[in-house]
Amino acid sequence: MKGRVLVVDDDTALAEMLGIVLRGEGFEPSFVADGDKALAAFREAKPDLVLLDLMLPGRDGIEVCRLIRAESGVPIVMLTAKSDTVDVVVGLESGADDYIVKPFKPKELVARIRARLRRSEEPAPEQLAIGDLVIDVAGHSVKRDGQSIALTPLEFDLLVALARKPWQVFTREVLLEQVWGYRHAADTRLVNVHVQRLRSKVERDPERPEIVVTVRGVGYKAGPS
């Protein structure tokens, strides 16, 4: 599977190394080193995935992430040197789908990229209901009372995973594996942040969620439909 990957990183050595690894795995990397030029490069390259360094000259990674997310649902994987919760959560809240902490192994990076790209494979036609929402899996749309709700691919996957098994309580680890494609549970903060983001889009009142319900001490489940 060919995939265009836009690498936004100011460290030329790392960018070059990323290029070597990505080309070795069969991806088509393109590069931009400046936050200010990132958006233009994104529009030009139309990548299937963005690898985004958080610390950039010009606009920082968070800002770039927000800008890209504003016009596209393309998967964004952040590269960060800081594993502090605050940094990670800020990055995720700005719209990144996943993050990977430096230093990472090439295999790990490639696995995550593949996991993010895999979902673009053709799904079977399927209609799901969760709460008062209707999900058309193949059409990639979520509707409430005929009104469609815009979700990023990752948020959509999360919602679908919950809606497919409304009787099951998903632990964060299970969700990580199903939605993000991680074999070993890495970081449940990902799940927390994305559930919050999903709720802010699909819930009538995000303070009292009815569609994605928290099960204390265990994880999340779909609300009754």
Partner 1 sequence: MSRDSSSPAPGEPGARPGRTVRPPSPPRRGPRFGALVDSGLMLQGGVQGSSPLLRLFTRWVRRPLLPMMRLWRRNIQLKVVVTTLLMSLGVVLLLGFVVMSSVSNGLLKAKVNAAQSQADGGFRAAQEQANTAHQPTGQGGDAADGPTAQNAAVWLSELAEQLASGGQNAFYVVTLSSSASDSGSVRGPRASGGVDPIQSVPVDLRDRVDGGSLAYQSNTRIDFIDHRESQPGLVIGKQLSDLNGDSYQLYYLFPLTQEEESMNLVRGTLATAGLFVVVLLGAIAWLVVRQVVTPVRMAAGIAERLSAGRLQERMKVTGEDDIARLGEAFNKMASNLQLKIQQLEELSRMQRRFVSDVSHELRTPLTTVRMAADVIHEARVDFDPVTARSAELLADQLDRFESLLADLLEISRFDAGAAALEAEPIDLREVVRRVVGGAEPLAERKGTHIRVVGDQQPVVAEADARRVERVLRNLVVNAVEHGDGKDVVVRLAAAGGAVAVAVRDYGVGLKPGEATRVFSRFWRADPARARTTGGTGLGLSIALEDARLHGGWLQAWGEPGGGSQFRLTLPRTADEPLRGSPIPLEPDDSRRHRGLGGAGLPLAGGTKRATVPHQAPPDRVPPPVPAKAPIAPRLARAAALDVDPTALPGSGARVVPRQAWEESGAERAPGEGSESGADVENGSYGEADSPTGAVAAAEAVESMRADADADSAAPLSTDAAADSDTPNSTDASADSDVRTGADAGAGREEEASRGR
Residues found near partner 1 in the complex (CB under 8 A): 11, 13-14, 17-18, 20-21, 24, 55, 79, 81-82, 84-85, 102-107, 171-173, 184-185, 187-189, 216-218
- Residue 31 or 72 having the CB closest to partner 1: 31
CB atoms within 10 A of CB 84: 9
Shortest spacing between CB 101 and partner 1, in angstroms: 8
The distance of closest approach from Cβ of residue 61 to partner 1 in the complex, given in angstroms and rounded to an integer, is 12
Strand order, beta sheet including 127-130: 127-130, 133-136, 141-144, 147-149
Beta strands in 20-69 (DSSP E): 27-32, 49-53
1 vs 17, beta carbon nearer partner 1: 17
**How many beta carbons lie within 10 A of that of residue 225, not counting itself?**
14
Q: Minimal distance in Å, beta carbon 187 to partner 1? A: 7
Nearer to partner 1, 208 or 216 (CB): 216
Tokens standing for residue 189:
């903060």
Q: For every residue of 91-120, which 3-state class applies, written as one string?
A: HHHCCCCEEEECCCCHHHHHHHHHHHHHCC
| CB of residue 130 to partner 1, shortest distance in Å | 24
Q: Which is nearer to partner 1, 21 or 67 (CB)?
A: 21
